[in-house]
Amino acid sequence: MIENIIMLIKQYWHVFLLEGLRYTLILSAIAVFFGVLFGAFIAFGRMSDIRPFKKINKNKKKKGFIHWLANFNPVSWLCSVYTEVIRGTPLLLQLYLFVFGLPKVIPIEADYFFWVSLALACNSAAYVSELFRSGIQAVDKGQSEAARSLGMNKSQTMLKVIMPQAIKNILPAIGNEFIAIVKETSMASTFFVGELMTSYLKVNGVEYLALEILIIVGAIYLALTFTLSKIVLAYERRLNSK
């Protein structure tokens, strides 16, 4: 078996590293980058204070339909529905939906790689939005009260007081999300987009050495996630020592 592994590495290293590892990293980076971007929007949407029917509760009722409607925030509602749907359905189903379903309604010419990236980003956004939300909510309420009592408005408070503190909770969590995504990109191999798991399929199609190839691919995943988690840990340590 050892000989087989050495042979495979010698003969296919470029498939594993230059193609597999590279695409895994590219996919993960795209997913997390746009995931953070969309996720931030969703988080702020959920925490927004948009109540179009605020005015109807003239006599400030505290119960019933009028009270409910007056406090109804459609943006927040949509964002939380989105998060629930993404988190409540399998990633594989979402990948199928984006690759086979969406092109039927969104008429753009794009390859599998594009749709897979988009699916991963939209999936990641739901999780990242929760990271943003909990990171922000973990900041002591007294902080925003102090800022508001000084006359700072909501966005000034968010930008200058809450976010600088929340980011210290959020960044390590996004690092961990990146690690999770690295592993999840393996599902993209269903569509043969070239990442590490696809390189297993390719090489195995020629060599029929499933165990050996899986050991190699697994070792690459492990090296990657291990390195990344060490980086996240070092960063967390640095934050806590300050």
Partner 1 sequence: MIKTVDLYKSFGELQVLKGINEHIAPQEVVSIIGPSGGGKSTFLRCLNMLETPDSGQIFFEGVDITSEKVDIDLHRQKMGMVFQHFNVFPHLSVLENVTLAPTVVKKIAKNEAAEQAMELLNRVGLAEKANESATSLSGGQKQRLAIVRALAMEPDVMLFDEPTSALDPEMVGEVLEVIKDLVKGGMTSVIVTHEMGFAKEVSDRVVFMDGGIIAEEGTPDEVFNNPQNPRTKDFLSKVLY
Taking the C-alpha atoms of residue 117 and residue 70, their distance in angstroms, rounded to an integer, is 39
Among 6, 11, 74, 160, binds partner 1 (CB under 8 A): 160
Nearer to partner 1, 74 or 164 (CB): 164
For position 10 contacting partner 1 by CB under 8 A, the verdict is: no
Nearer to partner 1, 146 or 222 (CB): 146
For position 241 contacting partner 1 by CB under 8 A, the verdict is: no
Expressed in angstroms, the distance from the first to the final Cα of the chain is: 49
Nearer to partner 1, 165 or 190 (CB): 165
Question: What is the per-residue binding string for partner 1 in 46-75, x denoting contact by CB under 8 A?
Answer: --------------x-x-------------
For position 137 contacting partner 1 by CB under 8 A, the verdict is: no
Taking the C-alpha atoms of residue 103 and residue 71, their distance in angstroms, rounded to an integer, is 37
Name residues contacting partner 1, limited to 166-225 (CB under 8 A): none
Among 81, 146, 219, 222, binds partner 1 (CB under 8 A): 146
Nearer to partner 1, 101 or 164 (CB): 164
Name residues contacting partner 1, limited to 84-103 (CB under 8 A): none
Residues 6+ apart with CB under 8 A from 214: 200
User: Position of tokens 């102090």?
Assistant: 146
CA angle (10, 11, 12) in 5-degree steps: 105
Write down the least CB distance from residue 42 to partner 1, Å.
25
Q: Are 165 and 143 in contact (CB under 8 A)?
A: yes
Write down the least CB distance from residue 109 to partner 1, Å.
47
In the chain, the amino acid numbered 204 is: N
Among 106, 140, 210, 211, binds partner 1 (CB under 8 A): 140
In the chain, what's the furthest Cα-to-Cα distance? 81
H runs (alpha helix) in 89-162: 91-96, 102-105, 112-137, 141-149, 154-157
User: Position of tokens 């009028």?
Assistant: 66
Q: Are 57 and 72 in contact (CB under 8 A)?
A: no
Interacting residues toward partner 1 by CB under 8 A: 60, 62, 140, 142-143, 145-153, 156, 160-161, 164-165
